[in-house]
């Protein structure tokens, strides 16, 4: 009988069960199983078995169950971050001047991207070009209690560059939204100006949301820019490899 097994043996048996089944099924079997599923030992074992532990995680993970789920789910929530699918998944597109264009790296008067995995970028024109994505956190598997109680870090990153022969402007604005799309937290960069005759190097911009309070259900990511010489075509800021991640 399962209830007669030593607790350490029962933990090892439970650790072989998929995590979602542990929470949704096994936890409801009896008080003993509930306590084991809610405790740290089972999730520490699962993390160890799946290579999710290390000195840093053991020091910082106060809730091992949440740490496990967040580590397993960690991925870039921005779809089509590098223009491989043209403008697909980007909404609220503003096509100033000649509009957005996708180009191959390094591009004219440009530099290669620091990662060999990135092959394309979006480029803006002589009037403001903006595009946005709204991420539904529940649809991505981040449940309400997790977002309201644990409030995991939401990390925003973007990369931008100019052409070496043209000046340009760049802006990033990210908002954390409620169920009704009220703004609960916001990060807005300054308007970054890149002068003509710049080095065309790629620059990363990042921001981490933490302790943002309960109620966050959506993340709205928007960026854009233009050139400052008003040349017809695509001489404005270049952007690529945008990312939004939820981290333990």
pLDDT tens for 112-147 read 999 999 999 999 999 999 999 999 999 998 888 889
Give me the mean pLDDT over the 203-228 stretch. Answer: 97
Report pLDDT for 175.
98
**Cα–Cα distances in Å, from 113 out to 105, 108, 156, 240?**
7, 13, 18, 9
Half-sphere exposure (CA, 13 Å, Cβ side) for 217?
9
Q: Return the ∠ at Cα 168 (arms to 155 and 79), rounded to 5°.
A: 35
Pairwise CA distance, residues 106 & 199, whole Å: 13
Mean pLDDT of the chain: 91
For residue 225, count other CB atoms closer than 10 A to its CB: 28
Note whether 2-71 and 91-246 share their fold: no
Instruction: Report whether pLDDT(72) > 50.
Output: yes
pLDDT tier for residue 51 given thresholds of 50, 70 and 90: confident
Q: Where are the domains of the chain?
A: 2-71, 91-246
Pairwise CA distance, residues 125 & 17, whole Å: 53
Three-state secondary structure call for residue 69: helix
Residue 20 backbone class (left: φ over 0; alpha: ψ -120 to 50; beta: rest): alpha
CATH topology assigned to domain 2-71: Monooxygenase (1.20.1280)
CATH class of 91-246: mainly beta
Residue given tokens 């995680």 in the structure block: 57
Give me the mean pLDDT over the 240-247 stretch. Answer: 95
pLDDT tier for residue 222 given thresholds of 50, 70 and 90: very high
User: What is the total residue count of the chain?
Assistant: 248
Beta strands in 96-147 (DSSP E): 101-104, 120-123, 129-136
Instruction: Walk across the sheet containing 203-209 and list its strands.
Output: 101-104, 120-123, 238-247, 153-161, 203-209
Pairwise CA distance, residues 243 & 75, whole Å: 9
């Amino acid at each position: 009988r399962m209830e007669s097994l030593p607790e350490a043996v029962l933990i090892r048996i439970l650790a072989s069960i998929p995590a979602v089944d542990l929470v949704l099924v096994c936890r409801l079997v009896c008080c003993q199983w509930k306590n084991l599923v809610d405790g740290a030992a089972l999730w520490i074992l699962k993390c160890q078995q799946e290579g999710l532990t290390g000195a840093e995680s053991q020091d910082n993970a106060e809730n091992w169950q949440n740490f496990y789920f967040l580590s397993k789910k960690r991925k870039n929530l921005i779809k089509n971050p590098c223009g491989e699918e043209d403008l697909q998944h980007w909404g609220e597109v503003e096509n100033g001047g000649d509009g957005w264009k996708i180009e191959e790296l390094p591009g004219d008067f440009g530099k290669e991207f620091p990662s060999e995995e990135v092959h394309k970028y979006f480029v803006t024109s002589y009037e403001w070009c903006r595009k946005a994505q709204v991420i539904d956190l529940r649809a991505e598997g981040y449940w309400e209690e997790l977002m309201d109680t644990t409030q995991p870090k939401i990390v925003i990153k973007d990369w931008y560059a100019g052409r070496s022969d043209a000046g340009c402007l760049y802006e990033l604005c990210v908002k954390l939204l409620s169920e009704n799309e009220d703004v609960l937290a916001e990060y807005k960069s300054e308007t970054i100006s890149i002068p003509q005759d710049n080095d065309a190097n790629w620059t990363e911009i990042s921001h981490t949301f933490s302790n943002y309070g309960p109620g966050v259900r959506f993340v709205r990511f928007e960026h854009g820019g233009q050139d400052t010489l008003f040349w017809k075509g695509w001489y404005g800021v270049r952007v690529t490899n945008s990312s939004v991640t939820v981290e333990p």
